[in-house]
Amino acid sequence: MKFIINRKTFISMLFLGLTMLGYISYKNLPVELLPSSELPMLIVQVSSRIEVDPTYMENKGVIPLEGAIGTLEGIEKIESSATQRRGTIFIYYNQNINTKYAYLKLQEKISAVKSSLPEEFTVYVGKIDLDQIANQFMGLQVRGGGGIDRVRNITDQIIAPELENIDGIANVEVYGGREKSVEIILDEE
C-alpha cells in the first residue's frame, strides 16, 4: 500500500495505459450483426401444386414425413405446421450434431417416404442459412378491403414492382392470397 501512495505518478500512468489498451482492443474487435455459425436445425417443406385442405396436407404429407424423421438420431425437437398449399417441418438437433451428416441422413429418410406421398406433393429438404437471414431487410404485411383476390392483385401489380425498382433491393417475394390461374378441364367425350 505504501508503494502505491509513494508512486502516484507511476500508478496514474499505469492506470491510464491499461485504460487506453482496453479502449484500443475494444475498437479493434470485429463486430457482426449476425456472426456466421451453423444452426443445428433443418427444414422439410412439402408443397402441393393445387390448393388442398390443411387437414389433408397434414394427414397425407406432414405426418408420414414426421414418422420417418422421428427415427433419426440426435433430434431434440420436431415442430410442424400445415396450410392449404404447404406443410413445414422444423427439425431441431442437439448442439453436438454434424449438420452435414444429419442433412444426408434426412435426405435418405425423405427419399424413402417420398414415393408414398400423393403425386401433387413435392418435398424440399433444406438448411437454415444464417447469411440469407442476415441479408433479409424487411417483411411487409398488406391488408385491405375488397377481398383476398383484390389485395393479392394490388400486391402483385403495384406494390411488388415498385419495391423491385428501388436500388439495392434484389428480390421481392409475395406470399399468401390466391394467385390467378386458369384451369382447363378436357371433356373426354
Model pLDDT, residue 136: 64
Sheet holding 75-82, edge to edge: 75-82, 86-93, 41-48, 121-127
CA-to-CA distance for 44 and 160, rounded, in angstroms? 27
pLDDT confidence of residue 34: 59
How far apart (Å, rounded) are the C-alpha atoms in residues 158 and 150?
12
Q: What totals of helices (H) and strands (E) does the chain contain, helices first?
A: 8, 4
Sign, CA dihedral 22-24-30-31, equals positive
Q: What is the largest CA-CA distance in the chain?
A: 110
Tens of each residue's pLDDT in the chain, 189 residues:
787 788 888 889 999 999 999 999 999 988 776 565 667 889 999 988 888 888 999 999 999 999 999 999 999 999 999 888 889 999 999 988 888 899 999 999 999 999 899 988 989 898 876 666 656 667 788 888 888 888 888 888 899 888 888 887 777 878 777 777 777 888 887
pTM of the full structure: 0.55
